[in-house]
Amino acid sequence: MARTEQIEAGSKETGGRYVLRPMKRADIAQVMDIDRESFPSMWPPTAYGQELKNRLARYFVLVEEGADEADPQSSSLLRRLARRLPRREREEPPTRRLIIGVVGIWLMVDQAHVVTIAVRESFRRRGAGALLLHAAIEAAIAERVESVTLEYRRDNEPARALYERYGFLSVGVRPRYYTDTNEDAVIMTTPPLTSKSYREKYERLKQEHARRWGDAYLFPADF
């Protein structure tokens, strides 16, 4: 089940530096913590160890570069999170930089499906959700798929507004898709990524990103 319903649009400037990079095993403890916070009633939890081995999956994390790695409270939190991991996931020391968001896509024939996108609660409404969605689209373009698809809870208006801003169109409904509340899921997809109209729209969005974030945000294509 795709887990995309917690994203909230935001425009508040933060002045921080966000760096996006591919997810690695050392990030699992923090990403699972974000999952528990964002999707408390979802079951089963995502098996990120297996997902990172999936050749058709792409996962990225958004890291706050200004976070203090030596902060005792943060270090204590990360140690507690690491202890929750299965033994096989403890081989690599956990990431010390604070991960504030995660996005993942599955490559499905000619589409990229957003399977998860979530932001730590304390960092929501600061634009991180938009950065992660932008990253998912960039990754899809790099993989040369035709379009990007996702779903969201019907009543989540902030999510709908964000997705529409990025050109997603409603194409269907999955009745009672979310088993915790029996809410419907609205299916959205982009027009063909290579179409002239979408290229022009996306170029405007990239220019907006450049004006707002400067060099403080790295796209997946930069790796």
Segment 56-86, tens digit of pLDDT: 999 999 998 755 443 444 444 445 444 554 5
Predicted confidence band of residue 6 (pLDDT cuts 50, 70, 90): very low
Q: What is the pLDDT of residue 24?
A: 93
Task: Kindly state the DSSP code that residue 45 receives in the 8-state scheme.
Answer: P
| pLDDT the model gives residue 211 | 79
Report helix angle 128-142 to 157-165, nearest 10. Answer: 40
CB 57 within 8 A of CB 112: no
Q: 146-168, pLDDT tens digit by residue?
A: 999 999 989 889 889 999 999 99
Q: Which residue type does 111 have?
A: Q
First CA to last CA distance, the chain: 28
Computed on alpha carbons and rounded to an integer, the radius of gyration of the chain in Å comes to 17
Q: What is the CATH number of domain 18-222?
A: 3.40.630.30
Per-residue pLDDT at 208: 83
127: alpha, beta or left, given left = phi > 0 and alpha = psi -120 to 50? left
Convert the pLDDT of each residue in 100-147 to its tens digit.
Answer: 999 999 999 899 999 999 999 988 888 888 889 988 999 999 999 999
| pLDDT confidence of residue 11 | 35
Rounded CA separation 117/96 (Å): 21
* Alpha carbons 169 and 107: distance in angstroms, whole number: 19
pLDDT exceeds 90 at position 1: no
The pLDDT value recorded for residue 152 is 92
Tell me the mean pLDDT in the region 29-48. 87
Give the amino acid at 10: G
CB within 8 A of 56, min separation 6: which ones? 106, 107, 108
Mean pLDDT of the residues in the chain: 80
pTM, two decimal places: 0.78
Q: Tell me how far the alpha carbon of residue 67 is from its chain's centroid.
A: 19
CA distance 59 to 57: 7
pLDDT, position 83: 52
Helices (H), the chain: 28-38, 48-51, 72-84, 128-142, 157-165, 196-213
| Cβ pair 92, 52 in contact under 8 A | no
Mean pLDDT, rounded, for 173-179: 87
Q: Tokens 């499905």 appear where?
A: 108
